Structures are given as C-alpha cells and as structure tokens.
Structure 1
Amino acid sequence: MSQEDRQRWNTKYQQASAPREPSSFLRSLEDRLPRTGRVLDLAGGPGHDACWLAQRGLAVTLVDISDVALAQAEVLARDAGVSLTRLRLDLETEALPPGPFDLVVCLNYLWRPLFAAVPRLLAPGGLFVFAQPTRSNLQRHPHPSARFLLEDGELPTLLQGLQFLSFTEDWTDAGRHEARLLARKRQAPP
C-alpha cells in the first residue's frame, strides 16, 4: 500500500460515526476459538474484533495501516479494560510480526500473497479465521470493487497446509456474498 492508501484509510476511520460491533461471523465461532494464547488480527481497523478477543483472555496483536484506526483501538481497549499490542504495518510491504500465534484473524482484507504466510504464522493446532466478499457480491453491492473481491470458489485454492474445519460461500444475514473459513494448522507428528 502507498502513503495515499494510508491516508485514505485514516480519512475513512476519522469519518466513522461509532465503534462497530465485533464480527458476527467471529462471534459465531466463539465455542471453537481458544481461550488462551496469542492472536494476530490482520488489518483489524479500530479494534472491535481485537478487543472482543482480548476480553476472552487472549493476548492480541492488532495490525493495521491506519494510525487513526490504531488510536481508536487504543481508546476502545482502554474503555473495555483490556490490553492490545497495536502495530502500524503495511501488510503488503512490511514483515509480519513473528509467530507462532494460536489464532490468526483476517476479516474483510484481501491480499493474496498473505495466504502463503499464514501457515508459518500459526502454532501447531492454531486456527485461521477469514472472511471476504466474493465477486457475486457485485450483484447487489457496488462496493467493494472487483479489485478487492475473491473470485467465486477461489478461497480453497489459496490456502495450502491447513485443514479446513468449516468453509462457506454464500449470502450472509448482512446481505453480502462472502467466503468464510475456519482452518487449523495440523499438529506436528509425535
């Protein structure tokens, strides 16, 4: 991403009216997510998902390109009484934080080369949660543009070395056509 992209995201978050609720998809996985360990929230914006995970007892590292979003996440975490590690990072050009992580979350951010890094980020048995609109979403919504959409059926082809625990690609209750995935890194053999 460029400095222009960073500024665009800063402006978007400055104009946001109120903190969002944690992802309904992420919350739907509550019983399957770890209660202890390290979490990496990629492109986590103002921290609504990161704070929810931290409230569950997880040590969360929130990564985003936007200074404004990270400042908002700091306020949200303080108000929620949790601690977050916040890193301003361009996921497309800078090195990812060192793992291993017990959970990696990436919701509503698509940069295909990131998928190759996910298995290296995860601890054995670690989980990956991902959701992103697909091209079918354009049937009802002009945004995000095709540049930021998965092709229908593409997600399973992007991830190697992970066991899929659940995968759906359909219209959500929110009216978006999304690919949603929960996957696990296999345990090392004894």
Structure 2
Amino acid sequence: MADADRQKWDARYAAEGAPDEPSAWLTSLDEHLPREGRALDVGGGAGRNAIWLARRGLRVTLVDISPVGLSVAEKRGREAGVTIETLRRDLEEEPLPEGPWDVILQSHYLERPLFRQYPRLLAPNGLLVVEHPTRSNLLRHARPGAAFLLEDGELPSLCAGLSMVRYEEGWTEQGRHDARCLATM
C-alpha cells in the first residue's frame, strides 16, 4: 500500500500542484501557537502549513511519504525565506521523529495509531493541532472515501491523554465536514 500511496501523491503533486495557503483552521489558532520551538507537520505534503509555522519562528520538520511533495515544500520554503527539514517516511511502517515537539500538526492525513504516540512526543505544554474530514463529509463529497475519514465524534477519543483546548466539528467555510481540535499535554 505504501508504494501505491507514494505514487498517488507523487502524481498528484506533479500534475496538479498543491495548495499553498495554510489551513484556515491553523491560522485561526494564531493566538494559541508559540512563536519559537519545534514543530512537526505529519503528512504535510507540499508544505503549506509547515511554511506558515516556520514564518512564525518555529523550527519545522515535515514528514510525508511523497518525495515530490517534499521537494515542492523545500522549494516553497526557500522562496518564502524559511528552512524546513523534510523527512520521507511511510508512517504506516516507520516511527515519527523523536520529540519533544512544541507543536504537532496533523491536517487532512489520517493514521489512527499515530495518536497513541503524540502524548509521548509532545513537550510539556506542547500542542496537538488536528483537522480532518468526518464520515458526514460523504453527504456532499465522494472523496475522500469512508476508509480515510474519521467517524463523527471520534476525534476526542483519539486524543486521550491530552487536554482539549478547543474542539469543533461541522461544515467548514470550504464546504467540508471536518473535526478540528487543539489539545495540550
């Protein structure tokens, strides 16, 4: 499956490019997020969120399976005047880089077992930022398919061991049904 995932994302980044504006959810958390420290962007693709975090002053590591996406992220980072460390990893098989991390971001990427690692990887008072579509998204959109969606109401249970600072679930301005949270150690 990893090769298929890598090929799919490589092809998508090569053909379509990737959005370069950071997540509206992430930017809405501006007052809560640090301006220094270490940040991990999990499954961050072409780096739109990683670049925003780096512009804030964070030292950002972006982990993704797609070398094409990582190359785009590095190029965009240079153009933005920031440095982003990129790591190519299959997160179904390989571990996340060791912390402590002041911010861990997981946006539109779902690998449920990773949630068990986050409390151990976060620094004291570190923040977990998550944004992902739920099964209700299928009411309006065929993609992503059910296998790649959170169940409605599932996200808080995945964040066990963390304290919820902010949680919302519903239709977004972009027309998706997302679950979003900001949680802390």
Work out the CA distance in 1 between the residues paired with 2:18 and 2:179. 26
Q: Secondary structure at the match of 1:51?
A: helix
Q: CA shift at 1:161, angstroms? A: 1.0
Q: Report the secondary structure of 1:113's partner residue.
A: helix
Q: Where does residue 125 of structure 2 map in the other structure?
A: 125
Counterpart in the other structure of 1:173: 173
Which runs of 5 or more structure 2 residues have no equivalent in the other structure?
none
| Offset at residue 157 of structure 1 (A) | 1.4
Q: Give the distance between the partners of 2:19 and 2:139, measured in 1 at CA.
A: 28
Instruction: Give the whole-Å Cα distance in 1 for the aligned partners of 2:27 and 2:135.
Output: 25
My pick for the range that moved more, 156-165 or 37-46, is 156-165
Aligned equivalents of 1:21, 1:96: Cα separation in 2: 25
**Between 100-109 and 154-163, the greater mean CA deviation after superposition:** 154-163
Residue 145 (structure 1) aligns with = 145
What is residue 81 of structure 2 aligned with on the other side?
81
Shift of 1:126: 0.1
CA distance in 1, matches of 2:28, 2:130: 13
The two structures have a TM-score, normalised by structure 2, of 0.98
4+ runs of 1 displaced by more than 4 Å? Answer: none
Correspondences of 1:6-21 after superposition (within 5 Å): 6-17=6-17, 19-21=19-21
**What TM-score comes out, normalization by structure 1 length?**
0.95
Q: Percent identity?
A: 56
C-alpha displacement of 1:151: 0.6
Q: Number of aligned pairs? A: 185
1:46 aligns with 2:29: no
Of stretches 101-110 and 152-161 in structure 1, the one that deviates more from structure 2 is: 152-161
Partner of 1:188: none
Gaps of 5+ in 1: 186-190
Match for 2:114: what amino acid? Answer: L
